[in-house]
Structure 1
Amino acid sequence: MTTGRTIHVHRHQWHLVWDHSISPIARIQSGETVSFDTLDASCGQIGPESTAESIAALDFTRLDQVSGPVYVEGAEPGDTLEVEFLDIQPAQWGWTAIIPGFGLLADEFPDPALKIWHLEGGADGWAEFAPGIRIPLSPFCGEIGLAPAAVGPHSTIPPYRHGGNMDTKHLTKGARLYLPVEVPGALFSLGDGHAAQGDGEVCGTAIETPMNVTVRLTTHKDMQVKEPQFITSGPLTERTNTAPYYVTDGIAPDLLEATRKAIRHMVEHLQKTYGLSRSDAYMLCSVAVDLKICEVVDMPNFLVGAFFPLSIFTA
């Protein structure tokens, strides 16, 4: 059943762990909509005037907070909760950072770095990385999930079978996500707004931004999923899949090391070809490069490709 009511979750109504003992801040019927006004992933510690010193001073216990939880009446363990993304609007600013200890190449980038972005044109707009390099915006939430049945608390940093920090760039407006319900009421929360991100989020941050997100939550009792599943809103990466890609391969007997090598090669390519600093090249990889597993059957090596869209260059 769909009703005309929309519940609003304010930006101060957040929590820092997944835990079914957290009291819901609202209760809705299946099919109703919820509008979330969320902080960025730093929980407000980073702002438009911040510098790299702000990264060094981050309180890590406040990172990746999620807004909610919302109780869906009638949702029971074994059901599936459908999350339909009706609208996703970023703020007018965002940030990307190298945070010491985070990211695919954390050992190779030990120093903090921060880029503040000005976001133009809302959800269908763009952000300028540097003169001649524009990133099309495609906003989504990195954190989307339900409370687990297991006794908490559980960190919001990793993904789980009930959702969490999935960082899946294709959960944009119009997409539908299906999550397994583990506790009565499902206890839905979301956060970690991203204005744009490459598949993989290699440095550990995307274009992080506060977000306004509206979703419709619907319980399905005749559908069971063991882990998250979703339907995209249409063809993938329509706004960047408009020109050739430059691809660097990484080959190794370990899939993670093959991924690291692909990104190392891309960082070097961006430095040599476009004159970017090593830190800027790494952050650009995080917001624009898509990682793809190209080969997993010809042992002893795996092959991972880092796909860089040449469409982001405006000159």
Structure 2
Amino acid sequence: MAHSFHVSKSNHSHVHLKWDNALKPIHTVDSGSEVSFDLLDGGHNQFTATSTAEDVPNFNLALGDPAHGPIFVNGAEPGDILKVEFLRLETASYGWTAILPGSIGFGLLADEFPGHALKIWDLETHKAEGYTVFKEGIHIPIKPFLGVVGIAHEAAGEYSTIPPYDTGGNIDTKHITEGSVLYLPVKVKGALFSCGDGHAAQGDGESCGTAIETPMKATIRLSVEKGKPWVKSPHYLTPAETDEMVKSRVQGKGEYAALGIDADLLQASRKALRGLIDWLMGEKGLSRDESYMLASVAADLKIAEIVDMPNFAVACSLPLSIFVGKPYV
């Protein structure tokens, strides 16, 4: 029978800022073992529930996206798959979203937002109802997931934890929630699994560079699978919808989207995001900073069309169900 293991955020030797296959494992587990993690947030807990916008210029991006691990999984060999099952994900009582200073250059429109801002979220008061309040009249569903989930690279050396890779890493995929399964292609003996960067909610794209960042308690099952050569990058499986989830989706209020059209996919994405920000300012009366942060935690960037050259179409869409009261409805 596989054992359970715990990884504490208070032990600094359990935290690393680079993927490196030379890192010494903090635990060795058998396939099928459960590992619980007490995780720092994606900003290395530099912001707390009492932080203000005055603290943002002091943010050190070099400490960003800390990963907890690595975990050596017995039986994992190059060519195998590491199956990662997300059993439980629990946020802290608070979270944060920031527009980081332009000098850091973080976010899809970082060059257009040279200032800084910070939103501290209350993740406790309405936890039972499943949402948090952006501002009165705007509710954001809480859907916890981990931004950083990955294993060691095949090549020697250090690799930043900030980008995503074929071995996982900072994949920031909001669909890999509790009940989901992630499949990662093993490149080194033992896989060397690490995770971190808890999010309470995020839009596809994480457009301002931050989601609702929060410390997270996570319980994960790690299993080795063989004979799946088609998994050459992270693949994932989401859980089946419950009747309640289907009912909620069907009764949704639709979405509002802005299309960005350009011969460059990145520029098309920037245009789409600008369009949604302009709509939120003009139609809903939000400030420019509020609009940028709201888009990052609730709006989805989607490739609407990619084959009709020379231009691409990207949609930045926002579910209207987040608007629950005056003056927004």
Give the TM-score of the pair, scaled to structure 2: 0.92
Match of 1:153 in 2: 158
Q: CA RMSD in A?
A: 1.6
Match of 1:107 in 2: 111
Shift of 1:53: 2.3
For residue 164 of structure 1, what is the amino acid of its counterpart? G
| 1:55 aligned counterpart, secondary structure | helix
Q: 1:164 aligns with which of 160, 166, 169?
A: 169
Change (3 A) 1:240 1:51: farther
Match of 1:298 in 2: 308
Residues 1:61 and 2:59 aligned together:
no
Mapped partners of 1:201, 1:152: distance in 2 = 28
Mapped partners of 1:83, 1:126: distance in 2 = 26
Shift of 1:273: 1.1
Residues 1:248 and 2:258 aligned together:
yes
Shift of 1:59: 1.8
8 Å contact 2:87–2:221 — kept in the other structure?
yes
Alignment of 1:81-230 (within 5 A): 81-100=82-101, 101-120=105-124, 121-122=126-127, 125-224=130-229, 225-230=231-236
* Unmatched 5+ stretches in structure 1: none
For residue 139 of structure 1, what is the amino acid of its counterpart? P
Mapped partners of 1:199, 1:59: distance in 2 = 25
Could you give the per-residue CA deviations for residues 241-299 of structure 1, whole angstroms, max 9, x where no partner exists? Answer: 72210111111111111110000010010011111110010000000001111111111
Mapped partners of 1:10, 1:272: distance in 2 = 46
Change (3 A) 1:122 1:90: farther
* Unmatched 5+ stretches in structure 2: none
Match of 1:72 in 2: 73
8 Å contact 1:253–1:300 — kept in the other structure?
yes
Alignment of 1:274-313 (within 5 A): 274-313=284-323
Q: Which moved more, 1:221-230 or 1:142-151?
A: 221-230
Mapped partners of 2:165, 2:27: distance in 1 = 23
Percent identity over the alignment?
53
Mapped partners of 1:299, 1:188: distance in 2 = 40
| 2:123 aligned counterpart, secondary structure | strand
For residue 154 of structure 2, what is the amino acid of its counterpart? A
Shift of 1:54: 1.7
8 Å contact 2:3–2:30 — kept in the other structure?
no
Give the TM-score of the pair, scaled to structure 1: 0.96
Aligned residues: 313
Which of structure 1's runs of 4+ aligned residues deviate more than 4 A?
A: 121-124, 235-241
Shift of 1:124: 6.5
For residue 205 of structure 1, what is the amino acid of its counterpart? T
Shift of 1:176: 0.5
Mapped partners of 1:63, 1:240: distance in 2 = 34
Mapped partners of 1:25, 1:48: distance in 2 = 30
8 Å contact 2:151–2:192 — kept in the other structure?
yes
Could you give the per-residue CA deviations for residues 70-91 of structure 1, whole angstroms, max 9, x where no partner exists? Answer: 1101111111000000011111
Match of 2:51 in 1: 50
